[in-house]
Chains A and B, each alone.
Chain A
Amino acid sequence: MLLPLLLRPPLCLPQASAVLTRCVRMLRCGAPRGLHSQAKNFLWQWRPQRHQARGRSRKTQSQEEEWRNRNKTALTYIAAAGVGMIGLAYAAVPLYRLYCQATGLGGTAVAGHDTEQVAMMTPVKERVIKVTFNADTHASMQWNFRPQQTEIFVVPGETALAFYRAKNPTDKPIIGISTYNVVPFDAGQYFNKIQCFCFEEQRLNPHEEVDMPVFFYIDPEFDNDPRMARVDTITLSYTFFEAKEGQKLPLPGYSYS
């Protein structure tokens, strides 16, 4: 069982395998000569190589030095490359952000989104978009929160008004804070709110009911975007959470830059 393993020459030590095969053949043939003499023969094969190694040692010393130098330079290059890669990894974060802003990938707000545009824009009458409204509350939030219209038909470039209603059915004042979501994602970058009720604390007194308006428009560029060619429905979804006293929702920092 073990014989074939021994006979298969190991790749790194061809000399050792030669010795092994010879040993095995000897055992098979039934060794007319003694093992002792065979061992001597094998040792002689090993020894001269050692003598040769000592003779060459002075010549190889300069070679070794050269190798050491080469190793050093190679190591410094590799170390520099490693440090460079780490630096690149850190630099990639702001660079990527810049790239995304320039190309508008990933739904980041494309720069040039200002109030002057609202005054100047013209509605694109041919493209009618249905905006549906959704209202949610967090599980522990006791408000009754719902939209006052399920859908509204708008065109890009035209400002629109929509209402939600919130009622506090409990006996104590509750402070709520909301956030929103727009589906489909890519349309979210064209959905601009001029004014709404999100991201700020809203306080409702006991048994109070209020109307909450959302004033928004869809960017006229929406019509020119090929990715939006098949988008006919946009869903605006608000979720209300209960706010603790004095707590502030961190405004999404990246969208300011």
Chain B
Amino acid sequence: MKLKKALVLAAIVSMLATAASPAASAATPYEAYTYNYYEDSVPLPAPYVPEKAISGQSLGVGSFNQPNDLFVTEDGFIYILDSGNARIIALDNEWRVIRTIESFDIDGTENKFANPSGIFVSDKKEIYVADTDKGRVVVLTNEGELIRVVNNPQSEILPQGFKFVPLKVTVDKAGRIFVVARGMYEGIMQFDEKGRFLGYVGTIKVSTNPADRLWRTLATDAQKAQMQLFIPTEFASVDIDSKGFVYATTVDINSTETIKRLNPSGQDVLKRFGYYPPRGDIRYRRLGNNSGPSKLVDIKVLGDGMYVALDSLRARLFTYNDEGELLYAFGGRGTQLGVFNTPVAVERAGDKLVVLDRGKNNIVVFKPTQFGKLVTEATIEHYNGNTDRSVDIWRDVLRLNSNFDIAYLGIGRSLLMEKKNKEAMAYFKLGMHRKYYSTAFKRYRREVMQEQFGNFMTTLMVLIAAFVAYRIARKVRVRRSDRREA
């Protein structure tokens, strides 16, 4: 009878729970999540909600046709590379069309783009376009006048019959151009400000597994010729941060280092201090629909150490902090506002995120929620060393979501800096970070030992004295009884 009652109660509670949950998640067509220490995905409150979708019609320039890239400058001006229509649409920070660039003059003759796939706008408002099918990078002024064309790179290190097929382009403050080109397994191509080829940066290591190596050693020469070569994978996208470090993604199913941060000499210096390296989804199906690791096709540096990577396979956005810890992931496939068909590019406009969807021929603008804003603020404060301020914000974050491990770690790190070791230990334990916990515990233990050293030594001395006294007393008693017997 009791059991029956309990079952009925459980049924009612579960019904209430299912009735209540849609109201909470109705705002977004996706569920945001992050991964915890046990590599389970933990639901989060949505960090961003879709605000609006912008299409060619709504801008009044005719619908987009297979747009491949977009770029948003620091002051919020937006440049859309409408590849199918071979044009650039420039917008101001209020989403009003300033101009469309359909053609430009080379030596007095009109010239058009052919299936361009990458765009970058420098601080000086110079537009760099990777004009893929014509094998060139076109540099234009903001008004659409030609400055320079970068094509036919000449170098001894380039292979014979090399064909330059630029896909993505980015430029640093000094005007050096970084180009991701198709079929360039050696790395990202680097050009100087005059357009001369300098060399490669960020060569990807060839990855082989032992089984392949074994087969290769066993195979005959004829079989070896049939086998495919061990070639490294290509880069998929590039971006540059304010310090001149190049962020790049690769699409490589065998690698866990699909996001790279290259220093000026071309080495990967990305911090991977999270529970797992930044590479999109950690848990995914191995076989069947929607299977395989994330395919990161675009990356955008958000500033203050944060960056966001776009997974085109499951159409999700992954935001990481400077330590390589996943802050949140969200997005998905679908037809509603806020989910994508074929997302190809992600950009930041102020505190909003802008995603270009090639399949839907539109742009979706995401605005941060209270939760998203707090996480960003706290990360920025922590990155800039304002630990006490970041603690307060992290506590607010925890009030909204007490399952957010990074908030615990953030508070713990700040407490550690303030030498509040015991509290820091508790937070590191909640955040499951053994390395930091050990540091805090080491300091705490030393503190306790220094404090208790006096008491400890007193007890020890008293015990020794008592032991000595006992031995003497026993000896005296033995001697006395000896004397009595004698």
Q: Bound pair: A and B?
A: no
Spell out A's residues near B (CB within 8 Å): none
Give B contacts to A, CB under 8 Å: none
